[in-house]
A and B are shown apart, each in its own frame.
Chain A
Amino acid sequence: MSDLSYDEILEKEVREANRKKKMWRWLFLSSVAFLVSWILFPIYLLAVNSLSSADVVNGWPKSFLPEFDMESLSFFMEYYGVLNALKNSLIAALFTMVIAIGLGTPAGYALARFDFRGKETFRMLILLTRAFPMPLLALPLAVIFINVGLDDSLFGLSLVHTALALPFSVLITSSLFLGIPVELEEAAWVLGCNRWQAFMKVVMPLALPGLTASAVFAFVISWNEVFAAAVLTVNNQTLTAFLVQSLSTSPVEVKFAGGLILILPAILFLFVVRKYLFSMWGIANR
């Protein structure tokens, strides 16, 4: 046995406990810092490349600081077909957003507010779409679209993108409406609204931020989609299709600038709706 008194042993124990706590704290913070830079640093490097002149992008060795030269970006913008592709991406994404919300919102409301025969079957159909690599469906649709005159059209593409986005839109809106107490709607009915008025005056204002979020989600899905876009568009290429199809021909600085242009809006939009990201997945989980 040691000669240490109980108090001394205790003091040692307390010191040890504090030391351990501090060590864990340090380990914890440094892993947070590591992970954050693991995500951010590559994006930063792409930005450095995009904000440097073509000579620097193709040069060696590289500086890790941007020279804030707009040459690459303006070259990219003037590169043949880019502006058009950018416009097409935007149009397809907006179409997708409108169709997905327009179709998905009523279905989400039905799932949230009604019990009806076939509800579970419908839900299964929705969930089933996530058990398949949806972009593949662009293959048969490419053939079908030729027959109905939708080939190489942005509308046709956005229909495929809607097939990707619609399940999310339904699940998100249904969780949104579930979160709005039915009593509020009932109160409006009792006070003289019909179903439609109650929806527009009471539910809509409460659901609007969430609906916006799900619209943004649909937009981003379309904006980022590569495979269907590349298969379905030839002259009306979206930005992703353009970049994929010209991988071997376009100069590197065009690729890098294109990558940055592709990433920025998505990041910004996700920032705006970040609050909803989790409620979406939380419920889409079940």
Chain B
Amino acid sequence: MNKKYYPYVLIAPSVLFLLLFFVYPFLEVFVQAFTSSDGQVGFSNFENIFTDYNFLPSLKNTLLLALVVVPVQLCMAIGMSLMISKMKKGRDTVLYILTIPLGVSDLAAGIIWLAILDQNGFLNSFLFSIGIIDQPESWLNYQNPIIIFAAVVVAEIWRATAILLVILVSGIGLIPKEYYEAAEIFGANSWVRLWKVTLPLLRPSLQTALILRTLLAFEVFAVVMLLGGSNMPVLMGETFNWAFNYQDTGAASAYAVVILALSIVFTLFYLRVLRVPKGARI
């Protein structure tokens, strides 16, 4: 066989697979979203979901969640990765522990925080033992939408900061230490070094991290289901409901299209805002 064809033979299985299980279903989502149950092409699925009383709340909750969680996580991850980069002894252990949530699904994270925030949970037991409450308090009920939201925020921060951390730690590892030393010699204190050296040089990593994390925020649903149940609808959860509980693939696909559209908009936004000028890379 001609050597020229080697690489094509090697990538062919992956390409075929991705065409079949990524490109094709991706197009099919649109087809199904724009095909009504009687086979007509049109917006009837979208009309269905837009008029559903859960659509606007789920859109609002999803966006609001991303808006609150992602910036907090970004700041935390930057702080944590700087901390890690300054460590010598025990660095690997701490890093491993801080990245444990990478192996925890949002379902499991939801269960963990349910154990804490539940009516019979550890938070209430703790508050009881220090005398703040005298009987189990039900925090996660429909009367406390803000507490439910806060609980989801905390669980999400616990679960998904690790992915940002890993990307930023490896990004920081790519910055030669001489840049910091030069900045230090020429008079920059640690705060200035963070803003003038670390963050600008970290831009490509920040971009990747933000894109991945924001998309993951749009995909959140198991945590919310566990902590909020039906009291806090989110887009992915509604998609699941339409697909699984109402068996309406068209409407579920329409939701999927909405999520995809949001993902694309945010990806483009980050690519634009955090782009690095030509020749200004490490």
Q: Do chains A and B touch in the complex (CB under 8 A)?
A: yes
The reply to whether B118 and A252 contact each other, CB–CB distance below 8 Å, is: yes
Judging by beta carbons under 8 Å apart, are B256 and A159 in contact? Answer: no
- CB contacts (< 8 Å) of A39 on chain B: these are 97-98, 100-101, 158
B113-A281 in contact (CB<8A): no
> Would you call A6 an interface residue if the criterion is a C-beta within 8 Å of the partner chain's C-beta atoms?
no
How many Å from the CB of B107 to the closest CB on chain A?
Answer: 5
Main secondary structure of the interface of A (DSSP, over half): helix
- In B105-124, the 8 Å CB interface with A consists of 105-108, 111-116, 118, 120-122, 124
B269 CB–A CB distance under 8 Å: no
Complexed CA–CA distance, A31 and B92 (Å): 16
Flag if B96 contacts A263 (CB, 8 Å): no
Please indicate the chain A residues that have their CB under 8 angstroms from the CB of B94 in the complex: 32, 35-36
Q: How large is the interface on B (under 10, 10 to 19, 20 to 34, 35 or more residues)?
A: 35 or more
Residue B65 at the chain A interface, CB threshold 8 Å: no
Complex interface: chain B residues within 8 A of A252 (CB): 114, 118
- Contact between B7 and A231 (Cβ–Cβ < 8 Å)? no
Determine if A132 and B226 form an interchain contact, defined as CB atoms under 8 angstroms apart: no
Of B46-54, B66-74, B204-212, the segment with at least 4 beta carbons within 8 Å of chain A is B204-212
Assess the B18–A129 pair: CB atoms within 8 A. Answer: yes
Interface residues in A59-85 by Cβ distance below 8 A to B read: 59-64
Query: Distance (Å) between the CB of B13 and the closest chain A CB?
Result: 5
On whether the beta carbons of B100 and A270 are closer than 8 Å, the reply is yes
- Cβ B83 vs Cβ A45 within 8 A: no
Interface-central residue, A103, A130, A133, A252, by most chain B CB under 10 Å: A133
Chain A residue numbers with a CB within 8 Å of B101 are 39
Interface residues of A in 226-261 (CB under 8 A from B): 226-227, 230-231, 240, 243-245, 247, 252, 255-256, 258-259
CA distance A81 to B79 in the complex (A): 44
Chain B nearest Cβ from A98, distance in angstroms: 13
Task: Decide if A282 touches B25 in the complex (CB within 8 Å).
Answer: no
* Residues of the B chain whose Cβ atoms lie less than 8 Å from the Cβ of A225: 105
A63 to B25, CA, bound (A): 49
B residues with a Cβ closer than 8 A to A are 4, 6-11, 13-15, 17-18, 21-22, 25-26, 28-29, 31-32, 80, 83, 86-87, 92, 94-108, 111-116, 118, 120-122, 124-126, 128-129, 136, 158, 166-167, 169-171, 173-174, 204-205, 208, 211-212, 215, 218-219, 221-222, 225-226, 236, 239-240, 243-244, 249, 252-253, 256, 259-260, 263-264, 267
Give residues in A with beta carbon < 8 Å to B: 28, 31-32, 35-36, 38-40, 42-43, 45-46, 48-49, 57-64, 102-104, 106-107, 109-111, 113-114, 116, 118-119, 122, 125-126, 129-137, 139-144, 159-160, 162-163, 166, 170, 195, 220, 223-227, 230-231, 240, 243-245, 247, 252, 255-256, 258-259, 262-263, 266-267, 269-271, 274, 277-279, 281-282, 284-286
A and B contact pairs by CB, cutoff 8 A, 14 listed: A28-B86, A40-B100, A43-B112, A45-B116, A61-B129, A106-B14, A118-B8, A122-B14, A130-B215, A137-B22, A139-B239, A144-B28, A159-B21, A285-B204
12 additional contacts, CB 8 Å, given A61-B136, A139-B253?
A: A31-B83, A60-B128, A61-B129, A103-B17, A125-B22, A136-B29, A137-B22, A139-B32, A166-B17, A224-B103, A230-B240, A274-B96
